[in-house]
Every structure is written in structure tokens, then in C-alpha cells.
Chain A
Amino acid sequence: MKKKILISFASIALLLLSVSFIQNSGRPIPSVDVKTVDGKVFNTSKISNDGKPIIISFWATWCKPCKKELDAIAEEYGEWQKETGVKLIAISIDDARSSSKVATDVKSKGWEYDVYIDENQDFKRAMNVNNVPHTFVVNGKGEIVWQHNAYAEGDEEHLFEVVKKVAKGEKVD
């Protein structure tokens, strides 16, 4: 009997897993409450960009590579927007220790992104992020179609290639 239960459990797991592989592209953004930099509640299911691509980037004020990535994108952001209409949403996972530094960091760096604070990492959990930096690309239909962990010098160029493809409605892998 025990065996049977175990096996049925295993088959369900297998099934779910195969479904997940099929559905890997096309997942909507989960609905989680985060905060704006001035403390207002914002629900992530409201993230949208009029049918144009969205970049969601998880970062923290204490994470050097994250800030390097956002700095590198900031240099090109104007051109990226002109060409593809892309919008970048920066999700800070700073906790109460440093969350008050998010707004000041963003302003002093001159970043023109939409920034939200995920103070207790609820959105990070819902998006299955292990470590920061972790970057997602969302297509015009609001589906997550690409993701990448870590940042190395030059990665932003690859990211832009992905964004351009998504903007044209092409498939990405």
C-alpha cells in the first residue's frame, strides 16, 4: 500500500514536472505585494508596459554586481527604450537594514527605472530567485520568457539582444 502511494506521488510529480517544462515560457508575473520607494503598497500583477517588453531585475544596495549591471544598462537605457520601448523594473531585496537606502541609491545614481522594494523577499520567493542579481524578460503579453542569474561585464548586450527579439515577437531560448 505504502509503495502504491509513493508511486502515485512520484507519477504526479513527474507529470507536474513535464507540464512545467512545456510551460516554461509563458508564465505570468505572480501577484505579490511589494512597496514603492516611498512606502506605498504595489501589487506586482499590475506590472505592465502597453504590450512592450519588460525587464525585471532583482538587486540589493549591498550587491556590487547588481549595481554594475544596473549602471551598465543605465548608460544605454535611452537607446534601448527608443528602439524597443522596453521598461526596466528594479526589485530591491534590501531588508529593513538598508531599505531606506534604496531610494537614495537610485536617485544619486540617476537611474530612471521603476523601483520597488521586496523587503521580506515575498516576490523573490514567488519568482524562484536563488541569488541576486537575477534578471527576467517579460513579453508584451505579460509572460516571463527568459531569465538569467549573475552578471558579468558585457551581459547587458546579450540582454538587449533578447529584448529586441521579444519586442519583435520572436522566440527566445
Chain B
Amino acid sequence: MNTIKYLSRAFCIAAFLLLNKTNAQQLDLSKFGEVHGNVQMDAQYYQEDSLIGALAVPEKMGFNGFANVIYTKGNFTAGIRYESYLAKLQGFDSRYNGNGLTYRFAQYKNDALDVTIGNFYEQFGCGITLRTYEERNLGYDNMLDGFRVKYEPIKGLYLKALIGKQRLYFTPGGVGLVRGFDGELDINQAIKKLNEAKVHVIVGGSFVSKFQKDEDPNLVLPENVGNSAGRIRVNFGNFNFGGEYAYKINDPLDSYQINDKPVYKPGEAIILNASYAQKGFAVNVGLNRIENMNFRSDRGAKLNDLFINFIPPLCKQQTYALLTIRPYASQPNGEIEFTSQVDYKFKKESLLGGKYGVDISINFSGANALDTTHFNTTDSLADNFNVDSTLQGYRVNSYGMGHEKFFRDLYVEISKKFSKKFKATLIYDYQEYNYNVINNGISGDDFVYAHTVILDATMRLKSESSLRVELQHLYTDQVIGQQIGNWASGIIEYTISSQWFVAIQDQWNYGNDDTKKQLHYYSVNMGYIKNATRITLGYGRQRDGVFCVGGVCRQVPASNGLSLSITTSF
């Protein structure tokens, strides 16, 4: 009885407030603060499709749901997130199982001080010592639960300190304790004389330490592992330079062993980038040398679990379907990665620019192994070392590149607007992909070479309707693994009005040697968009990768069936 009484009372109050909207506004409700949030729901009905490798799903249906509610009043903010994985979507980790509040925090922030308790996301520098973040569509979330304080004692000096434990899916969380400190000094802001100087310099440093008990009966393991880094950023007119160096003490991890033995070797990272940009022209170069920089709050963690830090990959992030077939995954145990990009705009009314100008972008990036030699008990190199007692794992020969090539990607993009109604982009891409290293972590020379050509054209039909056509072709000599042979792909996307769209696409592996595997990955999607709400309904087969349909890009795992996705913000 009481239940009904309380419910009806709550309902009456809510209804009163809603119906008396105008009155309520006159009453100035802002003194109660504001409540805002967002919701994302992804549901999929699965069909078995043995041809593409989509297995039967016992529950028939998967559902992932997220809802954030944030309350703000003046300097105070508090928020919660409810997550639901009632039969999680395929492709997500099996530990995502159930419902619950995964995120709750309270924060006080004024001009100089910012205190957060509960869950939080943080990044020091480029993330090489610490970065907690969420990538919801990939199921990645390594947030901390604890305390964080940020303080700006003088103008231009930013201090951060934190302590906490990490999230691990729906389990109680990581066993390791994470403590971190970061300081950043904007020299030009801190020193008045330099406020208007032409050269702008920002320096910073961070120290992150994790604690985990040594319960190993055989090994003496470091219980406190420190990872420290220094960084600098210099800006001079159109030039920009950034660099960060990090050093992590030895920390043998289950996820990185050499000859089935733990590796007691410290880790090191050098991250550099430089750029020059002026109107219509830009150059960008980057270089990373990463050695043994896996930093996790549990030394037993595997896969993507409990990373404290983030190693920024440099290779171009591809979004066109056929270019996402072979995404390069950074090798945190060791690699040298580089990138270079030139962007140029042929001006309007110039010889090549035409009426509206032409944009050209060229990116060349790649990765190689480090120049190291693994110790092997049968190796003559090991003669001078007692391999079993030092457990160093490998020797660094030089800081330069190793001979083994992991990945190369050359990408050329030309965009031209022909008229107010028609524009097109033409892309050529060439990739060299070390299949064994990237997929299996084993050295070998199984290279895949792939040439891709893409045409992406948009035609404006009426003021609100348009047609987009995308044609892609991929030529490859790949004979190992999953996606063998040539591919062709096409998308027709019809935007009926600013609220409705429908898209049809097919990816066809026509060049597969096995005629039974010359499959079509077809799909139909339609969507409705109104302000901050977006509803999409799709049917078909999907490979995994980054997909951009109807104006939004997101990560989708492989599947076959009917899918419904709703996102909204309020």
C-alpha cells in the first residue's frame, strides 16, 4: 500500500513540475542546479552465419546500454553512470556481464583548486606514464577509483596528484595501487616578462608508481614500480615541437616473457613530434621509440587489461572500410614508429585549384622492430651472461631501427569541390603489413602488400537531400589468414532530409582463392536524427573495424543480424 502512496506522490510532484513548466521557470529553478546526461543503447539480434564466422549466440540477442547523469551546481559537480550488459554484444570481453553503477564521482572546482573523489579519468603528458580513459564502443575503460587533486598555485603552474585503483570490467577492480604526480609549467605565463615572447615554452614532468605485493614463491619481484617522464613543448611562430622521455624500472609481467622467462629489464620511451603550419600548407613528423613500456596495475594482467599508461600509436588512423581490414597494432614491448604528413591546399582560382581550390594530403608512416638481440640459452651470445640469474631477456645493440619491418602505409588523398553541388575525394593507399608479428607476435617475413583505390563523391540534390557514393577497390597478394585476395566495396548513402538517411553497402571478397569464401558483406542502414537524438536501424553482415555511416564514426565488431542503436543527450 505504502508503495503505491510513495509512487503516486513522486509522480504527482514530477507531473506538477512538468506541466507548470512556465511557472517553474519564473520560480528560477537554477538554484537547484542542473541535471544533464546522455544515453547510448545498442541492441543486436544475431543470426548464425558460419560463412563469415559469426557463431550462433545462445541468447539470440545482445544489448549494451550506458547512461550518464551529471548534476552541477556552481562549483560542485557529481555524476553517475549506469551500464548494462545483459548478454553483452559480441566482440566485447566476457567479463562485461550484468548491470550496475560503474562510475560515480563528486567534484569541487574553483579557479585554482579541483578536487575529485570517486571515479575519474586522467592523463599525464601524452599518457606514457598514466592515462585512464574510456572507449565505450571498444569496451575499453581503465578509470581510477580514488582521490585526485589539481592545483594551480601560481599562474602557469599546474600540479596534479592522485591515488586509486583501476576498473577491471565488472570485477571488484585491479589489485594494484596506483599513485601519481604531475607538474606542468607554462614558462611564458609564469614569468610576466615572457608573456608576449615569440618563443613559447612549456615543460612538465610526471611520476607514477604502482604497488602490488610479491606473492611469487620463486621470484623476487619489485613491489613498487616507478614510471617517470619529462616533457617539453616549444612553439615558435608556425613551428611546433614536442618531446617526452619516460623511464620505467624493471617490472616482470606475465604478458611479456622471453623464452618463457620473466624479463627484468627497465623500460624506456622517446616520443617526438614536430610540425610547421601556415595557411594552406602544413608538415608534420613524429617518431616514437618504445621499449618494454607495458605498465599495468597487475603484473598478471593480459590482453588490454589494467594498463596504467598509453602508448600513442603514430600510424594513420584509417576509417574507410577496406583500409581498416589490416589495422596496425602498436607493439608495446618494442618498436620504432614514425609518421610524416604533408597537407597542401591549391588556392581558389589558381591553375590547379579551379573555382573552389583543391586539397592534397600525403601521409607516410611505418614501424620497425628495435635493434635488439634476444638472449637464448643455446645462443653463443649468452656465453658471457648467466641468463638465468640476470633475466634481462635481451640486449640493446643500438637506439636505431632494427632490421625487421612491421608496417608501412603510404596514403595520398586529393579532394576537390567541382561546384556548389558536387565534390569528390580520390585516395590511393599502399600498405606493407607483417602478418605474423602484428597478429601473432611471432617474428617472420610473411608480408602482405595491399594497394587500395577509393572514390568518395557527394552530390547535393535539393537543399536538404544529398547522395553520397563511395567506391573502393583493394588489390592484395595475401595468401595467409582471414581476408585473402582482392576486395571491392560500394556504399550508396541517401540523405532524404536533415532528419532521415538510408545507406546500402556491400563489401565483396571477390578475389578469394577459395570460391566458397568469395563472400558479400552486405548491409542496409537507416537512421533518424533529431537534435541530439540519433536512432539507427541496420541489417546485414559486418566485419569489425571503424565504420562511418550517416555522419558518425564508431567501432563495430563482426556479426550478422539486425541492429538497433539509440544515442541521445539531454
Contacts and interface: CB of A to CB of B under 8 A. Distances in A.
A101 B534 contact: no
Nearest to A159: B498
B242 A18 contact: no
Contacts of A133: 551-552
Nearest to A8: B6
B9 interface: yes
Interface in A126-159: 126-134, 146-155, 157-158
Interface size class, chain B: 35 or more
B464 interface: yes
Interface size class, chain A: 35 or more
Nearest to A110: B279
Nearest to A10: B10
Contacts of B359: 108-109
A80 B281 CA distance: 25
A103 interface: yes
B284 interface: yes
Nearest to B532: A147
Contact of A100 (B186, B286, B310, B548): B286
Contacts of B122: 120
Given A14-B11, A128-B36, A39 B280 contact: no
Nearest to B361: A108
Given A14-B10, A64-B553, A109 B286 contact: no
Contacts of B7: 7, 10-11
A21 B18 contact: yes
Contacts of A129: 38, 569
Interface stretch (B217-225, B311-319, B382-390, B518-526): B311-319
Contacts of B276: 104
A20 B36 contact: yes
Interface string A92-129: 00011110110111111110000000011110011111
A42 to B, nearest CB: 11
B186 A41 contact: yes
Interface in A6-30: 7-8, 10-11, 14-24, 26-27, 30
A82 interface: no
Contacts of A17: 14, 35
B537 interface: no
A148 B37 CA distance: 15
A126 B317 contact: no
Contact of B275 (A16, A62, A68, A103): A103
A105 B282 contact: yes
B71 A24 contact: no
A107 B278 CA distance: 6
B498 A131 contact: no
Nearest to A147: B532
Contacts of A41: 158, 184, 186
Interface stretch (B167-175, B246-254, B295-303, B339-347): B339-347
B551 A62 contact: no
Interface stretch (B53-61, B125-133, B435-443): B125-133
Interface in B263-302: 273, 275-284, 286
A65 interface: yes
A26 to B, nearest CB: 7
A131 B570 contact: no
Nearest to B421: A153
Contacts of B30: 23, 26
Given A3-B3, A11-B6, A39 B463 contact: no
B345 A110 contact: yes
Interface of B: 2-3, 6-7, 9-11, 13-14, 17-18, 21, 24-25, 29-30, 32, 34-38, 40, 68-72, 77, 109, 111, 121-123, 126-127, 131, 133-134, 150, 158, 184, 186, 189, 200, 202, 233, 235, 238, 240, 242, 273, 275-284, 286, 310, 312-314, 317, 319, 341, 343-345, 359, 361, 458, 460, 463-466, 468, 495, 498, 501, 529, 531-534, 548, 550-554, 567-570
The 8 closest A-B pairs by CB, nearest first: A11-B10, A104-B282, A150-B551, A153-B466, A107-B277, A108-B343, A96-B312, A128-B38
6 contacts: A8-B6, A18-B14, A39-B242, A41-B184, A65-B551, A104-B276
